[in-house]
Structure 1
Amino acid sequence: MLFPDGHHGRLVTSHELVRAVLADPRFSARAELQHFPLPGSAAQGPARPAPPGVFTQTDPPEHTRYRHVLTGQFTVRRMRQLENRITEIAAEHLDAMEKAGPPADLVQTYTQPIPSLVICELLGVPYAERDQFLNRSIALMSMTSTTEDKIAAYMGLTAYMAELVAAKRAAPTDDLLSGLLDSDLPDGNLTDIELTNIGFTLLGAGNDTTANMLALGVFALLEHPDQLAALTAEPALVPGAVEELLRYLSIIPCTVRTALEDLELGGELIGAGETVTVSIPAANRDPLHFADPDVLDLHRRTAGHVAFGHGIHQCLGQQLARIEMTVALPALFARFPTLRLDVAPGAVRTRDDMLIYGVHELPVTWDVS
C-alpha cells in the first residue's frame, strides 16, 4: 500500500498475522520509524522520536522501564476498587437524565462524562478543569484538524499537565500521578517531563476510547433488540457481552509497526524499514477465527480478540475500560428500559473524521411513566 508520505508499506488484516506482528520484537513501535496511512499525516513532516514518557511509541528497554512503573498503578485489584465509585458516577448521571427528561444526547449526558470523571479522579485532575483537555483532545484526534491546530492542542495539553505535575510535587494527593512521583527505578525517579507526557498519554487514552465504546455500544444494542433483550435478561452475560462489543465494534482502526530487519510474514518478505499497517477491525472480524464475524452475538466466545492490541503494548487500562462498560451499560438499560433512538439510525453522525471511531452525538428518548 502507498502511504500519504510516499512510503510503500504493507497492510495486515488476518487475525493470525495481526497478533504475530504485534508480538514480534522485530517489529518496532518507535515513533521515528513509522509512516502513517491516515489522511494529513504527510503534512506533519518527518517522524521524530517520541518525547520522554510517551511509552506507547517506544521499544524495550525504554518501554519496559515505563511499563514496569505503570503496571504497578494499574493492577486488577486497584481497578476493581474503582467499581463502586464508577457505579456512583453512573447513577448520578442517570439521575440527572431522569430529572431532565427525554430526549437527550447520550454522549453529552452519559457516555462521555463517566470515563472523563473516572480518569480525572484517577490522575488527580480537577473535574471542573476537564474542558482543558476535552476540546484539545478532539483537535488532536480529528483527521481534519490542521497541523497548526494539532500543535496548538498538543502544546496546550502538555502545558496544563506540566502545571499539574508541579502541583502534585508540591502537595501529593491520593491519585495515580502522585503515586508515580516516587517511582523507585534503578536509574532514578521519573522526571517532570516524563511525568507530564505519561499523564498526557493516559488522559487521552483513558477518556476518548471508553467514551466512544460506551456510546457505540449503546447504539449497537439499540440496533439489535434481540441482543439487548439477552443482556437485560441475563446479568451473568454482561462480561462476555462487553468482550463481544469490543470485538464487534473495534473503535481503533489501525496501528503501525516498522520492520527492524528483513523478515518473512505470511509467506511475504518484509524489508527492513518497511512499515506495516495492522488493521484491528479486520482482525476482529476474520472469519477464519470468528464464525459469522459480522454478526453481533453476545453469547459468542471472543477469546483472542485484539480490541486492546496484543503483545507488550497491549492497552494498559483495559481492565478499567472493561469495568466502566460492565457497570455503565446495564445501569443505563435498567434505569430506562424503553430507551430508543430519537432519530433514524442513518441520521446518527458517526466519527468517520476522527482517529477513534464512535458517534458525535447519540439522540435518544424513552417513555416517562
Structure 2
Amino acid sequence: MTTTDTMDGGRDTAGPARPRHPAEPADLAEPRDLAEPRDLAADLLTPEARRDPYPFYARMRSESPVHRSAQGIWYLTRYADVEAALTDPRLSNDRDRMTRAYVALGGDLKAFSRLTDRLGRVMSNTDPPDHARLRKLANRAFTARRVEALRDGVQRIVDQLIDRAVQAGPAMDLIEAVAAPLPMAVVCRLFGIPDEDLPQVKTWFSRFGRLSEDLDKSEEAIDQYEEYLARLIRSRRADPGDDLISALVATQEQDDRLTDSELLSTCFVLITAGDETTTQLIGNGMLALLRHPDQLARLRADPGLIRGAVEELARYDTVTQAIVRVVAQDLEIGGRTLREGELVYLFLGATNRDPERFEDPDRLDLTRPDNRHLSFGHGPHFCLGGPLAKLQAEVAVGTLVRRLPGLRLADGAALEWRPNPLQRRLSALPVSY
C-alpha cells in the first residue's frame, strides 16, 4: 500500500503528451533537450522485460540513463543519479504534489486519489518537516532491539510452516507455503494482533490488493480495517502491552506527539507495507539460489554467510524495482532539465546492477564486499521496516536451505511474474525436495 504500488500498474506507457509547462509558448515544439530517439521505457512493459528486466536496464543506462518516456515521465537508472536523487529535497514524495502530477498527465486518478486521501499524511507520502517528525516518533517505537527480539518467534513460525509443507507432500509452492504467511504472522505478533484475528486481517489485505479491480470493496475493507485498528489503539491506551501499537501510543505523551489521525495512519501503513515486500524478498531470493547451485551449496556449507547473503539476494533481484518522486523545483540531472511538476521513476533495480558501482553486477556473489545496494531506499525515506524484512529473510532462507537439502525447482515449473514493472513479484514458486 505504498505510493509505488499504485504507479502505472503495468499499464501501457502510451498516453497523453506531457502537459505544456506554464513558461512555454503554446505553439512551441517539444524542447530539444527532452527529445528521445525512441521510448526505451516502453520496452519495460514487454513480456521479455517482465521475465528479466535487467538487460533492458543495461541498455537504458548505456543509451539514455536520464530518459523521458512518451508519457512525460523521467526514468533514472544510474546508481549515482538515483542515490543523489533520494536525498535531493527538490524531488518530493508529498501526496498532494503527486496527485497534481498525475492530474497533469491526464491519468485515471480515481483509485489513486481516494486511497491517498484515506491514508492521510503518513511518513511515506510527506516531505520535511512533517516527515522528520513522524519518522522520529516511529523510530522511538520501531527499535532495533524490538526487531531483534522477534528472531526466536520468527524461527518458530518458519519451522511450523516448513513442517506443515513437508507433511503435505514432497512438493510445495514456496510462496504460498512459507513466504506469504510468514510476514503476516510476524507483523501481527509485533503489533499485538491476536492470533484468532489473523484470518480476518488476511482477508482485508487480500482486498487491498484488488484495489484496481474493485475499488468499492477495497474501500469497504479499508473502512473495516481502520475500525479494527482504532479499537486496538483504544485498548492499548487503556491497557498498554509490550507491542508496537502500545509503543506508538506512548509517543502521544511526548512533546512531538502523534495526532490520533497520524497514529491510525502510521499503524495502517507499518502493518500493511512490509507484507508483500517481505514475501517477495524471500521468494526472489530463493529463486536466485535455486538458479545458482554453486551459491546455494556455499550457503549450505557455511550458514554464517546468511546475513550478507540476504543483502546480496536483495541486490541481485530487487523487489521494489522503482520508486516515484515528483519534481518540486526545476533541477538538472545528467545534463537533462527536469521541470517542476514532472514525475520521476527512480529504478532501484537498475542501480543495483550498475557496473559503475558493482563489479560484475550480473553475478550472484553471497560474499560480495561493500554491498551498498539501494533496495530499501536511501536518505530520509530509507525503509523503516527494512531490518524486519531482512530478519525474516535471514531466518526463512537459512532454515529452508538447512532443513531441505534436496530443495530444487519443480520439474517443468513455469514461473509467472506479475505485470507491474515497478515491482518484481512472483505469482508462485513451485519446488520439490
1:62-141 to structure 2, matched below 5 A, reads: 62-141=130-209
Instruction: Say if 1:161 and 1:200, in contact at 8 Å, map to a contact too.
Output: yes
Letter in 2 for 1:350: W
Change (3 A) 1:343 1:266: same
Secondary structure of 1:330's match? helix
1:161 Cα offset (Å): 2.1
Instruction: Say if 2:95 and 2:121, in contact at 8 Å, map to a contact too.
Output: no
* Structure 2 equivalent of residue 186 of structure 1: 255
Secondary structure of 1:258's match? strand
Identity of aligned residues (%): 36
Secondary structure of 1:198's match? helix
Instruction: Say if 1:252 and 1:307, in contact at 8 Å, map to a contact too.
Output: yes
* Structure 1 equivalent of residue 301 of structure 2: 233
Secondary structure of 1:145's match? coil
1:336-347 to structure 2, matched below 5 A, reads: 336-345=404-413, 347=414
Instruction: Say if 1:87 and 1:327, in contact at 8 Å, map to a contact too.
Output: yes
Unpaired segments ≥5 residues, structure 1: none
Separation in structure 1 between the aligned mates of residue 229 and residue 309 of structure 2, nearest angstrom: 35
Normalising to structure 1: TM-score of the pair? 0.89
> What is the CA deviation profile of residues 98-121 of structure 1, one whole-angstrom value per residue up to 9, with x for unaligned ones?
333322222222112221111101
* Structure 2 equivalent of residue 16 of structure 1: 80
1:29 Cα offset (Å): 0.6
Match of 2:427 among 357, 360, 363: 360
Instruction: Say if 1:4 and 1:42, in contact at 8 Å, map to a contact too.
Output: no
Letter in 1 for 2:250: D
Letter in 2 for 1:245: L
Backbone CA RMSD of aligned residues: 2.8
Decide which moves more: 23-32 or 291-300: 291-300
* Structure 1 equivalent of residue 333 of structure 2: 265
* Structure 2 equivalent of residue 31 of structure 1: 95
1:196-207 to structure 2, matched below 5 A, reads: 196-207=264-275
* Structure 1 equivalent of residue 286 of structure 2: 218
Secondary structure of 1:257's match? strand
Change (3 A) 1:9 1:356: closer
Q: Find out whether 1:330 has 2:394 as its counterpart.
A: no
* Structure 2 equivalent of residue 56 of structure 1: 124
Unpaired segments ≥5 residues, structure 2: 1-11, 19-71
Normalising to structure 2: TM-score of the pair? 0.77
* Structure 1 equivalent of residue 38 of structure 2: none
Instruction: Say if 2:183 and 2:278, in contact at 8 Å, map to a contact too.
Output: yes
Separation in structure 1 between the aligned mates of residue 417 and residue 211 of structure 2, nearest angstrom: 13
> What is the CA deviation profile of residues 67-91 of structure 1, one whole-angstrom value per residue up to 9, with x for unaligned ones?
1111122222222222122122222
Change (3 A) 1:46 1:236: closer
> What is the CA deviation profile of residues 236-263 of structure 1, one whole-angstrom value per residue up to 9, with x for unaligned ones?
3211111111011111121111222122
Separation in structure 2 between the aligned mates of residue 127 and residue 357 of structure 1, nearest angstrom: 30
**Structure whose CA Rg is larger:** 2
Decide which moves more: 51-60 or 278-287: 51-60
Instruction: Say if 2:90 and 2:330, in contact at 8 Å, map to a contact too.
Output: no
* Structure 2 equivalent of residue 348 of structure 1: 415
1:355 Cα offset (Å): 6.2
